[in-house]
């Protein structure tokens, strides 16, 4: 991933306003990527704003402008809130299929999916517990609240477990058959497994 | 985990011979744990035998005695061979149940399961590709060879995916309902999901 400046990019047909918006979104994304990279490798307290800025190819004041301060940036990085919104955005009867497709599309198009970050919790030291708590509250419990019947909380954990495993097999273990299979085919096979935990019987 | 000496331990009722064996197994396990810990945090080339020895609480010559050299130790650490033997050790008709129970028992008793190490592949740099290749050859493909019917390779990847996800939910995300549920109960719920990929229809 190349470094990007923070001024209007010369490429693209849109006017300077759109270019500026695009560029500011790209800068924010670069800052978040840099913070995630560093948090996965260093203790929270050892990471300076300058180090994040350098890795992201932006200035430290720009980070302050976008995120306020270092703690607010890290809290944003540790959140699953915006991921969960899109991940859980389907009627319950179709939710298994939606989550599987959403995860596979994310992996295929961006090399990342909405929930895979949880597997790196052990690297974050004390921050790892924040990541875990966010994950459980923002993804697992939010799913569990939508389920009815016995053991909704356990069933939500098992459903999310199957999805994490699919993400690890695709993005980390890099299973070659999974990666070359059509998303529709994998969704047809895997969605019923997830759905059976959501709406059993 | 405390440090252990390499001489005969004073505790336990067994004679000195049995104590020595126990102690040498404990030392080997400590060496492997130390190598895994360091490999997850440092580049392969930056890890010295001395660092492994210090972390394991043994002498560097003892590592050489047990493993030959540093590369042989790391190759052992990167292998799933002995894990896969026990993990896949059941008749096909009962294999889903066996793998789920084996994984949950490992998590509950040792805080680790036979396949969870694959999720740390991204931390290992070039060594990560060795870990991935070993995982696919020693776990996934070995399972796939036992399956019949269409898409056995893909079904093996999906089955192992469900199991990785269960391990991550237990050991990394630390889902509270999963951790407090009885292993028998979770096995009853989860084994059919795995088995359906092994022997569909």
Contact indicator for A151, B201 with CB cutoff of 8 Å: no
Query: What is the separation of C-alpha A69 from the centre of its chain, rounded to a whole number of angstroms?
Result: 21
B59 by Cβ neighbours in 10 Å (0-12 / 13-18 / 19+) ranks as middle
CA distances from A156 to B130, B158, B178 (A): 34, 19, 10
Q: Has this prediction a pTM greater than 0.80?
A: yes
Contact indicator for A34, A72 with CB cutoff of 8 Å: no
Q: What angle do CA A157, A160, A163 make, to 5 degrees?
A: 150
**Residue B145 confidence (pLDDT):** 97
SS (H, E, C) B180-192: HCCHHHHHHHHHH
Contact indicator for B161, B193 with CB cutoff of 8 Å: no
Q: Å from B90 to nearest chain A CA?
A: 22
Residue A136 has pLDDT above 90, yes or no: yes
**What domains are defined for chain A?**
20-77 (1.10.10.60), 81-198 (1.10.357.10)
Per-residue DSSP letter, A139: I
Mutate one of A116, A140, A141, A158 to test the B interface: name it (highest B CB count within 10 A). Answer: A158
What whole-number percentage of chain A has pLDDT above 90?
67
Listed as ranges, residues in chain B with pLDDT below 50 are: 1-16
- The model's confidence at residue A2, banded by pLDDT at 50, 70 and 90, is very low
| Residue in chain B nearest A41 by alpha carbon | B41
Of A118, A169, A177, the CB nearest to B173: A118
Q: Å from A72 to nearest chain B CA?
A: 23
- Write out chain A residues lying below 8 Å of B162, CB-based: 161-162, 165-166, 193
More reliable by pLDDT, A46 or A176? A176
- Tell me the C-alpha distance between B166 and B190, whole Å: 9
Interface of B with A (CB under 8 A): 40, 118-119, 121-123, 132, 135-136, 140, 151, 153-155, 157-158, 160-166, 168-169, 172-178, 181, 186, 189-190, 193, 196-197
Contact indicator for B128, B44 with CB cutoff of 8 Å: no
- Tell me the C-alpha distance between A171 and B32, whole Å: 26
Residue A155 has pLDDT above 60, yes or no: yes
Which of A20-24, A84-88, A133-137 has the weakest average pLDDT? A20-24
- Tell me the C-alpha distance between A146 and A142, whole Å: 7
Contact indicator for B126, B45 with CB cutoff of 8 Å: no
The number of beta carbons lying within 10 Å of the beta carbon of residue B3 is 10
**Residue A18 confidence (pLDDT):** 56
The pair of three-digit structure tokens given for residue A54, joined into one six-digit string: 């350098």
ipTM over 0.85: no
Q: Å from A155 to nearest chain B CA?
A: 9
Mutate one of A165, A179, A200 to test the B interface: name it (highest B CB count within 10 A). Answer: A165
Residue A5 has pLDDT above 50, yes or no: no
Q: What is the pLDDT of residues B49-78, one digit of tens each?
A: 999 999 999 999 999 999 999 888 988 888
Residue A189 has pLDDT above 90, yes or no: yes
- Write out chain B residues lying below 8 Å of A40, CB-based: 123
Give the CB-side neighbour count of residue B28, counting CA atoms within 13 A: 13
Contact indicator for A162, A190 with CB cutoff of 8 Å: yes
**Residue B19 confidence (pLDDT):** 62
Mean residue pLDDT across chain A: 88
Q: What is the pLDDT of residues A32-85, one digit of tens each?
A: 989 988 887 777 788 899 999 999 999 999 999 999 998 889 888 889 998 999
DSSP code string of B69-87: SHHHHHHHHT--HHHHHHH
């Amino acid at each position: 991933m190349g470094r990007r400046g923070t001024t209007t990019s010369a490429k693209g047909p849109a006017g300077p306003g759109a270019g500026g918006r695009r560029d500011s979104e790209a800068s924010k994304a670069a800052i978040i990527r840099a913070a995630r990279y560093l948090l996965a490798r260093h203790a929270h307290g050892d990471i300076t704003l300058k180090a994040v800025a350098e890795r992201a190819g932006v200035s430290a004041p720009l980070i302050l402008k976008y995120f306020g301060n270092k703690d607010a940036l890290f809290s944003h990085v540790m959140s699953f809130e915006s991921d969960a919104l899109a991940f859980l955005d389907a009627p319950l009867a179709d939710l298994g299929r939606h989550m599987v497709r959403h995860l596979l599309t994310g992996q295929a198009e961006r090399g990342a999916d909405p929930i895979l970050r949880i597997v790196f919790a052990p690297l974050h030291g004390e921050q790892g517990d924040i990541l875990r708590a966010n994950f459980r509250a923002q993804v697992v419990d939010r799913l569990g609240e939508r389920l009815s019947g016995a053991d909704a909380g356990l069933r939500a954990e098992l459903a999310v477990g199957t999805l994490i495993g699919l993400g690890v097999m695709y993005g980390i273990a890099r299973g070659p058959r999974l990666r070359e299979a059509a998303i529709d085919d994998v969704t047809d096979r895997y969605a019923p497994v997830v759905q059976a935990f959501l709406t059993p019987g």
